[in-house]
Amino acid sequence: MAFLKLIRFQNLLLIAFMQFLVKFGLFHPFGVSTTLSTFEFILLVLATVFIAAGGNIINDINDVSIDLINKPKKVIIGKSISEKTANTLYLIVTILGVGLGFYLSNLIEKPGFAAIFIIISALLYIYATYLKSVLLIGSIVISILVSLSIIIVALFDVLPSTTLSNQSIQSIVFGIVLEYAFFAFIINFIREIVKDIQDVDGDKNGDINSLPIAIGRKRTSYIIFGLGAITVILVVLYMYMHLYNIQLAMLYFLFLIVAPLLYFCIKSWTAETKKEFAFLSGLLKLIMLFGICSILLYKYVIIH
């Protein structure tokens, strides 16, 4: 149980769920040419999950002193799992992830793609040991990696099967994947800032220059509100451009994405306590889940 908490298995399940939705909720209904068999795709998911698990472990190893202040009851390193064991687990899951990535890259005859897994695991290590203490850079890097966990499905499954004859449909689907990856980036970036407000006390002790430490909690709350409002506008524009004549999709986006985002904006303007910001963080995770699940609506868009 301690190991599952250490790797944040709920977040890993969300990553895996997103990837399965992209393949079976988007690629299959569109009938695009794909490269990976179901088993090979599962290996891609495992590679992503292993590397993400490694990132979570190394982050916790480096955050023990901070977490003892921010969330003392949830600290695992040094209590349930020793630091030596945690380091060993980090190496095991990271090597497994990179190894599977190397295997899959050669399988699809694009050996250069193995560098993606090496770069991701290296960035997660650098984030945990240095980047997270640099103003906004750590949040941007983590958010890019979250979006990349969606893009990587198209890179490995769609791109290698793209030919001159099917380039048009393949490009359309790849574009949709990029749009969802951009949505994931924005939501995760806002959530990282919300978490920075939650963790401001421990971050001060750990010499981390987060946004609320640099400009104050209240000003950061206003920035969160602004980013939330911009996201609402972008989602509404997307609905107008792509879904305005598809009633089911419009209703889904209005009630499960736009409405929660508006509620987030309202609450972020007045939020002050750690508990309120924890609620906002959880709400953003739910909005991301609803956003990714909207992929399932594309079969109705196709029919239309």
Read off the pLDDT of residues 123-138 as tens digits, 9 standing for 90 and up.
999 999 999 889 899 9
Query: Per-residue pLDDT for 304 more than 70?
Result: no
Q: How would you class 111 by CB atoms within 10 Å of its CB: exposed for 0-12, middle for 13-18, buried for 19 or more?
A: exposed
pLDDT for 245 equals 82
Q: How many domains does the chain have?
A: 1
Query: Per-residue pLDDT for 47 more than 80?
Result: yes
pLDDT for 301 equals 63
The structure's pTM equals 0.94
Query: Per-residue pLDDT for 182 more than 90?
Result: yes
pLDDT tens-digit map of 206-215: 778 899 999 9
Determine the average pLDDT of the residues in 188-210.
89
Q: What integer best gives the mean pLDDT of the chain?
A: 92
Who contacts 164 (Cβ-Cβ below 8 Å, separation ≥6)?
A: none
- Res. 302 pLDDT band, cuts 50 70 90: low
DSSP classification of residue 273: S
Of all residues in the chain, what percent carry a pLDDT higher than 90?
77
Tokens of 34: 């794909």
Q: Position of tokens 């006390």? A: 201
Of all residues in the chain, what percent carry a pLDDT higher than 70?
98
Who contacts 123 (Cβ-Cβ below 8 Å, separation ≥6)?
A: 131, 141, 145
pLDDT tens-digit map of 86-110: 999 999 999 999 999 999 999 999 9
Query: Per-residue pLDDT for 119 more than 70?
Result: yes
Nearest CA to 3 out of 54, 66, 45 is that of 54
- Res. 203 pLDDT band, cuts 50 70 90: confident
Q: How far, in Å, CA of 240 to CA of 235, rounded?
A: 9
Tokens of 185: 């980036």
- Res. 177 pLDDT band, cuts 50 70 90: very high
Do residues 159 and 242 touch, judged by C-beta distance below 8 A? no
Residue span of the structural domain in which 298 resides: 2-303
Determine the average pLDDT of the residues in 45-71.
92
Determine the average pLDDT of the residues in 13-37.
93
pLDDT tens-digit map of 261-270: 999 999 999 9
H-state helical runs in 130-238: 137-157, 167-198, 200-205, 211-215, 217-238
- Res. 234 pLDDT band, cuts 50 70 90: very high
